[in-house]
Each structure stands twice: as C-alpha cells, then as structure tokens.
Amino acid sequence: MTATNSASKTAQPFLTDVKELRRRARQHLETGNITETYGGDVKQAIEILQNVLATEIVCVLRYTMHSIAATGIASESVKDEFAQHAKEEQEHMTMVAERINQLGGKPNFNPEGLASRSASQYAEGENLIDMIKENYIAERIAVDHYRELIRYFADNDPTTRVMLEGILGTEEEHANDMHDLLVAHEGKPMLPSD
C-alpha cells in the first residue's frame, strides 16, 4: 500500500453523510443559517460588515451630492456618471445590510458616527476636478479595503467573500471611470502607459 492510498483511507470523506447533515440541521435552530460548519467569527464578521455598510452609505451620499452639485460646461456627463455610481453604491449598501441580517445582526444605518465607521471619507470638493479626485481617492481606498477583507473572510465565510468580490469588481470599475474622467478633464494621463 502506498502512502497516498493509506492517507486517503484514513482521511475524512469529502461529503458528510446525508443522515448527519439532517441531524445537524435540526440542532440549534435559534442560530438561523449559521451552522456549526460556519468557519468564521460571526460577531467579528458583523462588526466588519457594519464598517463596510458605513463606507457604502458615505459613498452613496458623496456621489449623490456630487451628481447634484457638479457645475460647469462639461459637467452633465460627469453628473450622470456620479448618479450611476451612487445607484451602484446603494446596491452594495443593500447587499451588505442583508448579509449583516443573515448573520443575525442588525444593520447600523444610524447617521451618528457614520464618518468614523467608514473607510472612505465624505469630501465635497470645490469644483468638478476636485469632486472627481475625491471619488477616485475613495474608490482606491475601497479597492484596497475590500481586497483585505476578501483575504480575511477567505474560506471561513465564502458567502461574504463572494459578495465582497462582486463589490470589489464594481469598485475597480468605478476607480477606472474616475481615472478616465480625471484624464479627460485634466488632459494628462495619470497611469503609466506601459
């Protein structure tokens, strides 16, 4: 018998017996969808997601304000872009709030302390270029933050990780959009061309 064969005979089966799955599902119903196979720390996950929720709320507010307040001869298309981003950030906000609820938490929409819970800042900007820059900075913060969180949740909470991966993809698109707007309005590329 080879080492591989002996290891595979003593290894735990890939799938849990159906009877065992049924037995476990009947236990601890009060924990909701959090079963004993959840690999993370539920309280920590909720706390982290409360901060993600605050970040998304701040982004909704900032983009909405910019979509209304932007002025200038070239502002209409930028205002439309800001409004679209506000809508997408609101979708993220809702997804995160629903995930907090699924984990047994209560989403914190309280505006008190919102800025301190958020990874990104609420910055108005003095003009169209400033608004674009502030949104670009906020998106770069979000991209780095979500990458860290994806690594943190890993296989311990794949549902949260997959949700954050989807949000990250949109945030990367938003960052690219803000970069392109900045180049279009300042007339110089910001990223290396090679």
Q: For residues 73 and 53, what is the distance between their CA atoms, to the nearest angstrom?
A: 34
pLDDT band at 141 (very low <50, low <70, confident <90, very high): very high
**pLDDT above 90 for 151:** yes
pLDDT at 72: 81
Q: Looking at the predicted structure, is the pLDDT value of residue 14 above 70? A: no
Structure token pair of residue 33: 């969808």
**Which residue in 84, 87, 81 sits closest to 184, CA to CA?**
81
User: Do 100 and 46 form a contact (C-beta atoms < 8 A)?
Assistant: yes
Q: Which two tokens stand for residue 61?
A: 């507010």
Q: Side chain identity at 134, as an amino acid letter?
A: E
Confidence of residue 189 (pLDDT cuts 50, 70, 90): low
pLDDT tens digit sequence for 18-40: 677 667 667 666 666 676 767 88
pLDDT at 170 over 90: yes
At position 190, the amino acid (one-letter code) is: M
- Pick the closest to residue 63 from 39, 100, 90, 32 (CA basis): 90
Angle, alpha carbons 44-143-75 (nearest 5°):
130
Average pLDDT over residues 5-28: 62
Q: Tokens 């507010």 — which residue?
A: 61
Tell me what the pLDDT averaged over the chain comes to.
86
Compute the C-alpha angle 147/97/87, nearest 5°: 80
- pLDDT, tens digit, for every residue of 70-121? 888 878 899 999 999 999 999 999 999 999 999 999 999 999 999 999 999 8
Q: Is the pLDDT of residue 155 over 70?
A: yes
- Rounded distance, CA 136 to CA 185, Å? 13
- Greater confidence (128 vs 7) lies with 128
**Tens of pLDDT along 56-84?**
999 999 999 999 998 888 788 999 999 99
pLDDT(154) > 60: yes
Residue 40's Cβ-side half-sphere holds a number of Cα atoms within 13 Å equal to 22
Which pair of tokens denotes residue 105? 């938490």
Overall residue count recorded for the chain in this entry:
194
Q: Which class for 192: exposed (0-12), middle (13-18), buried (19 or more C-beta within 10 A)?
A: exposed
Q: What percent of the chain has pLDDT over 90?
A: 64
